[in-house]
Amino acid sequence: MKKAVFPGSFDPITLGHVDIIERGVTLFDELIIAIGINAEKKYMFSLEERKKFIEKTFIHEPKIKVLTYRGLTVNFCKEQNANFILRGLRNPADFEFEKAIAHTNRKLSEIETVFLLTSSGKSYISSSIVRDVIRNNGNYKGLVPNAVSL
């Protein structure tokens, strides 16, 4: 069974995330969307809200599980018997950052990282941009799945 973990804070989940998940789920028997918990980070949405947004978005996809975790992603992958980490790349800066993490993860474990390029029409979307639009009362609806609502 090919099982992958797609980790992130998903604060909130965006259409860029959805793009990677929808394409990634075709590559694996199971895809775990793993919401990382970082006590030092201040989130706009609670963990429960973020989890609910994702579960509602993928309610009809049986190959997707939504879980939360603390600590190293590679340790979570081992706990879940996942051999792959799925990551999306929007631009060259993402690649450099993600490459360093992937090399570190390979040093710590046998887990392989699989990269997918975000579709061109969604490559500009990031959670931080969405949060800024929301904070400034902008129309965020075209940036996130319908499940994300305030």
On whether the CB atoms of residues 27 and 15 are closer than 8 A, the answer is no
Catalytic residue among 23, 90, 103, 122: 90
90 is catalytic: yes
Catalytic residue among 2, 41, 51, 149: 41
41 is catalytic: yes
103 is catalytic: no
Catalytic residue among 9, 17, 46, 119: 17
Catalytic residue among 87, 103, 127, 131: 127
DSSP of 2-66: -EEEEEE--TT--HHHHHHHHHHTTT-SEEEEEEE--TTSPPSS-HHHHHHHHHHHTTT-TTEEE
Beta-carbon contacts of 130 under 8 Å, excluding residues fewer than 6 positions away, are 12, 14, 140, 143, 144
Catalytic residues: 17, 41, 90, 127
